[in-house]
A = this chain, B = another copy of it.
């Protein structure tokens, strides 16, 4: 994990921090909510990702001497810079677990810290959680439709610069099986795979010769790319020849890869040719502009594809470039805080809070999370956050608290899990969820309700601000 400078932030965090410092607010305790407003991909759920990276980054965040020097040149004041020189995040963080399913408008995570520290970490927190959650969600949608097929990330070349590094990690959280990205594979202990590009074949005068050299040099996990010149007339026949030669050496060709043309048609034709040659064990990998819809369609057409290599649409979250997560003040200096807005759906939820997943007696999620005050243990009834006449009695349901303390006084409290463990957890959470929330077209809308107490507290604050404006 690279070391992050605390200057990985927006300048206004430091501008505000200096004022807090000078005005004696630096030890005011603040609580910020991280939440988002809109599910990506018109989907029914999002997969929370990035927490472990974020906690590691935050626990190591500091300003170097060069950072301090730079800020001095940019007009920040001496006493404040002395404070920054000793900056360490020393607050608490409450969060959902990585891999959990998360939904709009309710807190995914809460930061509780002195206000300067809470502000300085805002940018990196949003940057890391918004992006990884976007990509883990995209990956999870592909996992849902891919059945037993393997899913590999091939996206680094089209990733948004170094963002590709975290995209690979998030893809694993969402259920991918491996990556082509060597540096991310090494850093995050992800299985790395890779075979050949068209250029390898082009660099030879002859495709067969190129396949032979490759199979000799890399007999383990050998995958031959068959579409450089002509898939069915040249690529597959040559691959079959080489597979037979490998058999003679006691080796097995692992797979062929299709990278252009109609993947369903070519997979079926290639499968037939391979089977006819007695190469039923040779798998078929496919790549080229894949996403969850293409994978779903290919498998519905019964294309015999065993491995999907997904690039651009995975690592950039296409067609959604970002999750719209925000970080809003809910409490400071002993009082609940609210942001009123011209738009009612942008009014925030004040207070220290807890979020509960509502389940039936069989542990199945009923399709609702409840948001209450942090000290509420059980919630009787929930209300729509913006439409006060919609309510639901939930007293008789199981209520699983979702926000756990994951950092205390700047120290990480949770144990690091492997990406496989996180992905398995995510799959288990998906299995608790009715199928209506998982379909791609107009999924059922997951309900978020607020408790009576939270509703009343919020109304009190709105009224008091309305009065002060008049």
Q: Hey, which bits of chain A sit against chain B, CB under 8 A? A: 2, 5, 7-16, 18-19, 22-23, 25, 28, 30, 32, 67, 70-71, 74-75, 115, 119, 122-123, 126-128, 130-132, 154, 156-167, 180-183, 185-186, 192-200, 202-203, 205-206, 213-214, 216-218, 220, 227-231, 233-234, 260-261, 312-313, 316-319, 321-322, 324, 327-329, 332-333, 335, 337-343, 346, 465, 468-470
Contact = CB atoms under 8 A, between A and B. Distances in A.
Contacts of A75: 220
Contact of A194 (B13, B70, B127, B338): B13
A100 to B, nearest CB: 20
Contacts of A16: 196-197, 199-200, 214
Contacts of A338: 202
A11 B217 contact: no
A260 B163 contact: no
Contacts of A15: 194-196, 218
A159 B127 contact: yes
Please tell me how many copies of the chain the complex holds: 2
A63 to B, nearest CB: 10
B161 A198 contact: no
21 contacts: A7-B182, A7-B183, A10-B156, A11-B181, A14-B194, A16-B196, A16-B200, A16-B214, A25-B203, A70-B186, A71-B182, A75-B220, A115-B203, A122-B157, A160-B167, A160-B317, A162-B166, A198-B328, A199-B328, A203-B337, A316-B316
Given A213-B19, A217-B19, A198 B339 contact: yes
A261 B342 contact: yes
Contacts of A156: 8-10, 123, 127
Contacts of A197: 12-13, 16, 119, 122
B341 A260 contact: yes
Nearest to A8: B183
A329 B198 contact: yes
